[in-house]
Each structure stands twice: as C-alpha cells, then as structure tokens.
Amino acid sequence: MLGFVARRLLYLLPVLLAVSLLTFLIASLLPGDLAYVILGDQATPDKVAALRHDMGLDQPIWWRYLGWLGHVLVGDFGRSFRTGQTVLQAVTERLPVSFELMLLAELGALIIGIPLAIACAVRAGSAFDRFVTGTAFSMLSVPAFLSAILLIYFFAVELRWLPATGYVPFSEDPLGNLRCFVLPALTLALGEWPVLMRVLRSDMIATLQEDYIAMARAKGLKPSRILLVHALKPSSLTLVTVTGINIGRLMGGTVIVESIFALPGIGRLLLGSIYTRDLIILQGVVLCVAAGYVLLNFIVDMLYAVLDPRIRHGHA
C-alpha cells in the first residue's frame, strides 16, 4: 500500500510541474499583452514599454516562468490589478461555494443513479431496464445549460417553487442556502447520473453472475443484503473511478451552472476574470483548478485502493 502511494505521489510531481508550465505558457505566449490590458485606452508605446519593464515582461520567458513558479510555491499567485485582491484570497473565498455545489451534485447523481442501476441490473433486459437505459442514453445528450434552462422554466418560472438565481451564505440561513443549491445541483446531477448508472449497471450485471452471489443466496441471506453488500461493494470499484473522472466534467459544468444561477463560486470568478480581462486572476484560477483536479484524481486513485482489498495488500 505504501509503495503504491509513493509511486502515485512520484508521478504527481512532474504532472503538476507540467501543468504549471502549460498554464504559464498559455498566459505568456498567446496574444493579449498584459500591459495593454492594464493601460487600456491610455496605452502609448512609451507607457507600455515602461509598464512591461516594471512588470518584468521584457525578461526572457524561462526566467519569468521560474520567478512566477517561485512565487506560486510560496502561495503567491499574484494580485488582481482591478480589485487589488490576491488570487489566493479570491479563490479561498469562493471555493466553499463551488465545493458545496459539486458535492451536492455528485450526491444527487449517486442518489438517482445507484438505485436505478441496481434495479436495472436485477431485471436486466426487462422493459423497465430498457426504459431506464434509454433515458440515461438520451440524458447524456443533454448539456448542463439545457437542463438548467428547463429546470428554471419549470421550477422557477412556471411553478415558482425555487429561486432561479441568488445565493445566501450557509452561515446566515442554512435552509435558504440549500434552497439556492437545489436547482444548480440538480442540473449537474441530471448530467451525471446516466454515466454512473450505466457503469454500475453493467458491473452489477457481471457481479450478479458470480459464484459468490450464488453462494450468498445459498446461505439464505436476505435479498437486500445480497444486493447491497455482496453485489454492490465489489461492483462499485469502477463507479468510484468514474465518479473521480467525472469531476473534470463537473468542474466545467460548475462554470456554466454558477453563471446561470449566479452562485459566487470559482466558476463565476473565472468567467468574471475573462469578461473583465483580469488576466492575473484568470491565470491563478486556472492553475488552482488544474492542480486541484490533479490532486482529486490522485485521491480517487487512493480511494480505489481502499475499496479493493486486493490492491490494498499489494496483490494487484
């Protein structure tokens, strides 16, 4: 187990380094000179040159990268030249919102997906199974911004049950906070559950053919225990991986959903920095998100190992 963790950790470093390099290169090589953006209308060649020199933009690129990386390593991702807020402040301020959204969305997807997957696997090939798998397949073709609009139309415009936009901090009004998250989280969950359902369903079908399931039945266990303990646990390995893999998609979805429902999370920060061309914030947020994504994938790998005793004991 320790060797496994060490190996994965060792692989993590070069990936993180490369991610930082790519983030830096996107920001530095692509057109869109920071000095022009900051100076805006007043940009004269003299002023631009002076600002470029002040900001170190006239130095060789590898030197600038090392300097930037040095700052990043001590937690200094830069500071917005528009609001004066540091990237770290801005990100930590908004992180809880995005986290809550993703957590609720994934939870929602699991709550919808797992029971359906089990029900389908038990009656594989039945009309119910074909209906659910068909629905899941169609749902895969519904992008988040589409389901968001449908949900807003039905629950906010027509029925007026839930707010279409807005945000209340959890500390002020926990229930109101959750109400704000219902539609955004449901939007993301609607895109997630088909993926989870399909994976778990096919794994469950395979598991239900196993000898140890026949054994569990021969032992006279209750059907619920056979399904939920004997079949679900060994079938959930791929589910965990897929849940992890989907975090990347979920992060993309978060941007859209936060924008539609006006939730002050990382996604809105990112979009705002693009709209206002606040390039330092943009660079910092992209780096944070990518690093977070890499780390999350690492955690998912570890979780996988915890679930499967064969990997845990180094038999895989």
Partner 1 sequence: MATLELDIAEDVVVSPARRSRKLGLLFWAAIGWLVFVLLVAILAPVLPLPSPTDMDMLERRGPISALHWLGTDALGRDEFARLIFGARISLTVGLFAPIIGLVIGGALGLLAGYFRGRFESFVVGSMDVLLAFPPLILALAVTAYLGQSILNLTCILGVLGIPAFMRVARASTLTLARREFVIAAQALGATHARIIIRELLPNVALPLLAFFLLGVAVTIVVEGALSFLGLGVPPPISSWGSMIGEGRESLEVAPMLAFIPAIAMFLTVLSFNLVGDTLRALTDPRQGAL
Partner 2 sequence: MSGPALLTIEDVVVELPTPRGNLRAVDHVDLSLGAGRTLGIVGESGCGKTMLSRAILQLLPKKAKLSGRVIFDGQDLVRLNAEALRRLRARGIAVVFQDPMTSLNPVLTIGTQLVETLQEHLELDAAAARRRSAELLAAVGIPAPEQRLSQYPHQLSGGMRQRVAIAIALSCEPKLLIADEPTTALDVTIQAQILDLLAREQRRRHMAMILITHDLGVVAGRADEVAVMYAGRVVERAPTPALFKNMHMPYTAALLAAIPKIEAAPHTPLAAIPGRPPDQTRPLKGCSFAPRCRNVGDQCLRSKPALTTAETEGHCYACFHPLKISAGVSA
Instruction: Say how far residue 61 (Cα) sits from the centre of its chain.
Output: 31
Instruction: Decide if residue 307 touches partner 2 (CB under 8 A).
Output: yes
143 binds, among partner 1, partner 2, none (CB under 5 to 8 A by kind): partner 1
Q: Among 80, 86, 98, 133, which residue sits at the site for partner 1 (rule: CB under 8 A)?
A: 133
Q: Which of 214, 142, 220, 154 is nearest to 182 (CA)?
A: 154
Q: Among 140, 215, 229, 299, which residue sits at the site for partner 1 (rule: CB under 8 A)?
A: 140
222 binds, among partner 2, partner 1, none (CB under 5 to 8 A by kind): partner 2
CB of 117 to partner 2, least distance (A): 17
286 binds, among partner 1, partner 2, none (CB under 5 to 8 A by kind): partner 1
Spell out, one character per residue from 220 to 239, where the chain touches partner 2: x when CB under 8 A holds, - when not: xxx--x---xx--xx-----
Sign of CA dihedral 173, 174, 175, 177: positive
Instruction: Decide if residue 84 touches partner 2 (CB under 8 A).
Output: no
Length of the chain in terms of residues written = 316
Q: Among 115, 138, 165, 212, which residue sits at the site for partner 1 (rule: CB under 8 A)?
A: 138
Which residues 201-220 are close enough to bind partner 2 by CB under 8 A? 210-212, 214-220
Q: How far apart are CA 14 and CA 180, in angstroms?
A: 39
Instruction: Decide if residue 307 touches partner 1 (CB under 8 A).
Output: no
The 10 Å Cβ neighbour count of residue 30 is 7
> Letter for the amino acid at 13?
L
Query: Can you read off the two tokens belonging to residue 47?
Result: 């002023």
Instruction: Decide if residue 55 touches partner 1 (CB under 8 A).
Output: no
Q: Among 141, 159, 172, 224, which residue sits at the site for partner 1 (rule: CB under 8 A)?
A: 141
> Letter for the amino acid at 210?
E
CB of 311 to partner 2, least distance (A): 10
Spell out, one character per residue from 261 to 280, where the chain touches partner 1: x when CB under 8 A holds, - when not: ---------xx--x--x-x-
Binding footprint of partner 1, residue count (CB under 8 A): 59
Q: Among 7, 53, 71, 310, which residue sits at the site for partner 2 (rule: CB under 8 A)?
A: 310
Instruction: Decide if residue 176 touches partner 2 (CB under 8 A).
Output: no
| Integer angstrom CA distances of residue 170 from 179, 188, 268 | 10, 20, 18
Name the β-bridge partners of 86: 79
Q: Among 48, 97, 114, 152, which residue sits at the site for partner 1 (rule: CB under 8 A)?
A: 152
Interface residues with partner 1 (CB under 8 A) are 14-15, 18-19, 22, 26-27, 30-32, 124-125, 129-130, 133, 137-138, 140-146, 149-150, 152-153, 157, 195, 198-199, 201-203, 205, 241, 245, 248-249, 251-253, 255-256, 259-260, 270-271, 274, 277, 279, 282, 286, 289-290, 293-294, 297
